[in-house]
Homo-oligomer: A and B are copies of this chain.
Amino acid sequence: MPATNVLYAQSGGVTATINATACGVIETARHARRSGRLIGDIYAARNGILGVLAEDLIDTGAESAAAIRALMHTPGGAFGSCRFDLSPLPQGSAQYQRLVEVFRAHDIGYFFYNGGNGSAETAHQIATILPRLGYPVVSIAVPKTIDNDILGSDSSPGFGSAAKFAATSLREAMADLASMAHSSTKVFVMEVMGRYTGWIAAACGLALPAGKDGPLLLLVPEIHFDRQRFLAAVRVRIAKHGWCAIAVAEGVCLSDGRRLTQAGGDGIPGHEQLGGVAPLIAAMVRNSLKVKVHWSVLDYVQRAARHLASKTDVTQAYAVGRAAVTYALQGKNNVMPVIERGSDQPYRWRIKPAALAGIMNREKRLPRGFLTDGYRLTARARAYFTPLIRGEAWPPFADGLPVHAQLKLKSVPRRLKSAFRA
């Protein structure tokens, strides 16, 4: 008899909507169970694949329907995430043997791994290596990343909300800057995430209303940073508008491939250890143009900003979780539900399965056609981004603050005698 239990786990940097995907997985599995299409229990691993290896499992059956529903508006990873990749064979053989032991001990028939490109490879390894060790299992990757860099998916759950928050914050900060510029601050630099890709930084271009020229520069890792050209662009905008705003991705690079933070901006050694490309850009502008500069680094705040999630994103995050379970019950394996766009306006999309082998560990970079002259958003980029940030999905508030899910996180009793050190 095939194994019947479900195991869901979260991986990599979390997002404002990864728990909406968890909700989609759990609610769909519960529904299938009630209708007799699935007969097992629904578990989650604590802290991703590390929790699987450690046999540290959570029984989601202990959570009320209301608690699972509250995941829809709860940021972070409710079951814990991890940064850990399985080793390839043969080095990783002990890891895969351990996974077989844990899966067998808990009768896991379906594994759902909710992450980005690296996590897709983990799901692929489980789908392909465990059967060779005598334990066939359905393993499905479920997409999530604010980086929007999953190949084969038009967008990635988590991105739309991060982009909406960053673009909103920049629009608001630009209103502030415009009112201060006459006698005080003339430049504002906002750093967003994006180590290798500039999707969020580019989406910040939406802070300017469509068709409106304005003093906003977008710096992305895909386009080499040229200090002289950049400073000239800032100078021109201050002369014309009185001020200039800059959205910069953390991973912006020089032409030699070094990140600006590694190179130290103005060449001051030691600065890179403090991180933050925004203060480097700010110092460069201040020292060169002799103007007052303010800067902000959003960091976790942008990827956790569930209070301003995109409704499109929340809907899609739930949909990929639901599709993952549906695919598993249809007998699909070693795939990821991805988003396919039908049209921009009206925005049409559907979920389809993509083979993990074709998409894992690759990276979708920002198209060159998204930025004119390297600094400003094109109409094509605007048409791409706008539906992804559309719609609000306010969480409930109490006493002025958003309310998050309170889970019991009840542990599944261990069945294995041995521990495992990953």
Show the binding face of A for B, using Cβ within 8 Å. Answer: 10, 13-14, 16, 46-48, 50, 74-84, 164, 167-169, 171-180, 182-184, 188, 190, 206-207, 210, 268, 270-271, 273-276, 278-280, 282-283, 294-301, 303-308, 310, 386, 388-392, 394, 397, 399-402, 404
Contacts and interface: CB of A to CB of B under 8 A. Distances in A.
Contacts of A50: 182-183
A386 B300 CA distance: 24
Q: How many copies does the complex hold?
A: 2
B14 A81 contact: no
* Most chain B Cβ neighbours within 10 Å, of A206, A300, A303: A300
Contacts of A278: 297
Contact of A298 (B301, B392, B402): B301
Nearest to A170: B301
Nearest to A400: B389
Given A13-B180, A76-B176, A397 B401 contact: no
A186 to B, nearest CB: 12
A308 B168 CA distance: 11
Contacts of A274: 271, 274, 276, 279-280, 282-283
17 contacts: A46-B182, A75-B172, A76-B172, A81-B180, A82-B183, A84-B183, A172-B301, A172-B402, A175-B404, A206-B400, A274-B280, A274-B282, A294-B300, A296-B298, A386-B399, A386-B400, A389-B401
Contacts of A175: 74-76, 304, 404
A344 to B, nearest CB: 12
Nearest to A183: B82
Contacts of A306: 172
A93 to B, nearest CB: 21
Nearest to A390: B400
Contacts of A388: 400
* Most chain B Cβ neighbours within 10 Å, of A79, A188, A283, A297: A297
Contacts of A13: 180
Contacts of A47: 182-183
Given A295-B297, A296-B297, A300-B294, A401 B171 contact: yes
Given A77-B179, A183-B50, A168 B401 contact: yes
